[in-house]
C-alpha cells in the first residue's frame, strides 16, 4: 500500500508550511496542488521528501507543470490545481477530461473546499486548504491510500 499526503492552497503561510513539512516527513513523497508552488519547494526542503507539484492560478510566472499524470499501483491519477477545468463552477469539464484520459482519480484544489466524490467510476478529491478554508469546511489536508485493490481517500483536519 502506498500512502500519500496531499496539500493545496497553502498561500505562503509559514507556520502551516512548516506543519506540512512535518507531516510529509512521515511519508515517501507528497502531492502539492498549487497556490503556491514555492511552498511545495519549502515543504520538500523541510521534510527531505520529494513533492509532485503543480502550479496554481496565483503562481504567475512560476515554472512548473499545470497538470501531472501518474500511474501508481495500476491506477491513473491526475494532479491539477483545477482552475484550468473551471472547478469553481462544477466538475463537468474535469470529469470529461478524466473520461477521455482513463483517469481513476482526479486530485485538485483551487476552491478551498474539501471534497470527496465519485461518479462514472472516477474519484474526485479536493483536500481543501490548510490555511483559508471556504464553504464552511475546516482547515485540512488529504491522505490517499492506494493498493492493487483500490483507492481510499481521507480528509484530515488541522
Cα–Cα distance between 18 and 44 in angstroms, integer?
A: 10
Convert the pLDDT of each residue in 62-121 to its tens digit.
999 999 999 999 999 999 999 999 999 999 999 999 999 999 999 999 999 999 999 999
Question: Any residues with CB less than 8 A from the CB of 7 and at least 6 apart, and which?
Answer: 20, 30, 31, 32, 33, 39, 40, 43, 127, 130, 141, 142
Cα–Cα distance between 143 and 156 in angstroms, integer?
A: 7
Calculate the CA dihedral of residues 66, 77, 123, 33 and round it to 10 degrees.
Answer: -40
Segment 135-148 mean pLDDT: 96
Cα–Cα distance between 153 and 4 in angstroms, integer?
A: 10
Domain that holds residue 58: 2-157
Question: Any residues with CB less than 8 A from the CB of 50 and at least 6 apart, and which?
Answer: 28, 29, 30, 44
pLDDT of residue 117: 97
Cα–Cα distance between 47 and 158 in angstroms, integer?
A: 18
Question: Domain holding 19: CATH number?
Answer: 3.60.21.10
Residue 4 has pLDDT above 90, yes or no: yes
pLDDT of residue 1: 95
- What are the residues facing 142 on neighbouring strands? 6, 155
Domain count, the chain: 1
What is the chain's alpha carbon radius of gyration, rounded to the nearest angstrom? Answer: 14
Residue 60 has pLDDT above 90, yes or no: no
Amino acid at each position: 500500500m502506498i500512502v500519500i499526503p496531499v496539500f493545496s492552497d497553502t498561500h505562503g503561510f509559514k507556520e502551516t508550511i512548516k506543519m506540512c513539512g512535518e507531516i510529509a516527513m512521515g511519508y515517501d513523497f507528497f502531492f502539492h496542488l498549487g497556490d503556491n508552488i514555492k511552498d511545495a519547494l519549502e515543504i520538500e526542503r523541510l521534510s527531505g521528501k520529494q513533492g509532485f507539484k503543480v502550479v496554481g492560478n496565483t503562481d504567475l510566472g512560476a515554472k512548473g507543470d499545470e497538470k501531472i499524470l501518474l500511474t501508481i499501483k495500476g491506477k491513473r491519477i491526475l494532479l491539477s490545481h483545477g482552475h484550468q477545468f473551471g472547478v469553481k463552477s462544477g466538475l463537468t469539464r474535469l470529469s470529461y477530461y478524466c473520461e477521455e484520459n482513463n483517469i481513476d482519480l482526479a486530485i485538485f484544489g483551487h476552491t478551498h473546499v474539501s471534497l470527496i466524490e465519485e461518479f462514472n467510476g472516477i474519484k474526485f478529491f479536493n483536500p481543501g486548504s490548510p490555511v483559508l478554508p471556504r464553504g464552511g469546511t475546516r482547515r485540512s489536508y488529504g491522505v490517499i491510500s492506494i493498493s492493487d485493490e483500490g483507492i481510499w481517500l481521507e480528509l484530515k483536519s488541522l
